[in-house]
Structure 1
Amino acid sequence: MLWMVLLVCASPMIASYFTFYVLKPEKRNNYGTLIDQRAHPIPAMATTTLDGKPAALQQFQGKWVMLMAAPGACEDACRKQLFAMRQLRLMQGKEMERIERVWLILDREPLDTLVIREYDGTHMLRADAQAVADWLPADPGTSAADHIYLIDPLGHLMMRFPKDPEPRKVHKDINKLLKASSVG
């Protein structure tokens, strides 16, 4: 009788160990794809501001960086990503100051003044298209210009969001990261 009582009491723990170690459920807690930072370190790219002054992604260390890469012509998909990055930052409320937005411009085309004004606060840096393509991993059938990336405060590329992401799910991922990384 005693063994039966022990078996009944231990069965939930036995079942949980069996499920975790034998069945190995594939439950993901995040929407974006985690990137192995060792495989994609931030390269020493020669980036410049719009007025030609040297600037580097390392200047944003200490803050989370939402990053996108697109040509200077900035068609509808580009504008949609810029808008999404602005809104995702605003959705973080009082934590939004911990996030910077960066647009890596992949060519020397002049930017539309309206785009510069509309997305004021986004750091616009010109970068070599090939260096960016070699650095930023993309989903099969897409390019780096189709994704929004996230760089952690230590300067590591750590997450990629899918093409045409669902804003609520992206917000949830960013919110979790900000909470987990908050000090005090």
Structure 2
Amino acid sequence: MSGSKSSAPDATDKLTEAVALTVHAVEPPSLPKPGRGRITLLLVLLACAAPVIVSYFLYYVVRPEPRSNYATLIQPTRSMPEALPLKTLQGEPVASKSLKGQWLLTVVSSGACDAQCETRLYQQRQLREMMGRERDRVEKLWLITDDAAVPPAVLAAMQAQPPVTVLRVPAADLQAWLSAGEGKAFHEHLFVIDPMGEWMMRTPAQPDPIRFKKDLERLLKASAFWDRAGRQP
């Protein structure tokens, strides 16, 4: 009897020890480290921008075959100003961000549109058609830098499908973004703006469409894996 009484406390002690070990073995839940959300956000943004970065790297840096550009590459590219005061011919304001999402083959001139202006507009239309099945990734834009009336015949030609987007913008505001070559005028060039609103190429004055076509083809090929026809939501 005395032996059985002495064993009871030993059993209780062992049970207490086991419970204590079990409690101490449970680790508190880990809390997220400070800054982890910010790092995740940066990684997501980098993943979204990666295709664009790679395409420009391929075009500007990696050149598997020897070649030279006919047009001038703008380095660094120039972002479209968010506050660029664009208006329709009817005077309605247009947000500059609405132009993003497509490659823009751009003519800049007076609304009066002299013979050189008409030539640039004709080249603009022909170059887009020369892009073949990729032409739906290119839109035609005409930026008018004054209040001069557009000749009716020119205006009618701008409505041919697909129509040219015609907008007015003060020359002083436009010059904060685009610029002509040294000693040249806007209407002597064609300008290329990428789908992100970056001005990145300008033709020589009085451009040769056949030679410039090759530059456009390279641009569209280099960006084919991230840019699609039509503006994406």
Structure 1 position 174, deviation (Å) = 0.6
**Structure 2: how far apart are the matches of 1:117 and 1:37?**
37
Bigger Cα displacement from structure 2, 56-65 vs 171-180: 56-65
Structure 1 position 183, deviation (Å) = 2.3
Q: State percent identity of aligned pairs.
A: 38
SS in 1 for 2:140: strand
Paired residue total: 157
Aligned residue in 1 for 2:171: 129
Q: Is the 8 A contact 1:41 1:156 kept in 2?
A: yes
Q: How does 1:31-42 map to 2 (within 5 A)?
A: 31-38=70-77, 40-42=78-80
Q: How does 1:26-175 map to 2 (within 5 A)?
A: 28-38=67-77, 40-43=78-81, 44-120=83-159, 121-175=163-217
Q: Is the 8 A contact 1:65 1:153 kept in 2?
A: yes
Q: Is the 8 A contact 2:85 2:173 kept in 1?
A: no
Q: Is the 8 A contact 1:37 1:156 kept in 2?
A: no
Structure 1 position 143, deviation (Å) = 2.1
Bigger Cα displacement from structure 2, 160-169 vs 136-145: 136-145
Bigger Cα displacement from structure 2, 51-60 vs 161-170: 51-60
Cα-Cα RMSD: 1.6
Gaps of 5+ in 1: 1-26
Structure 1 position 91, deviation (Å) = 0.6
What is the TM-score when the length of structure 2 is the normalising length? 0.64
What is the TM-score when the length of structure 1 is the normalising length? 0.79
The one-letter code matched in structure 1 to 2:97 is: Q
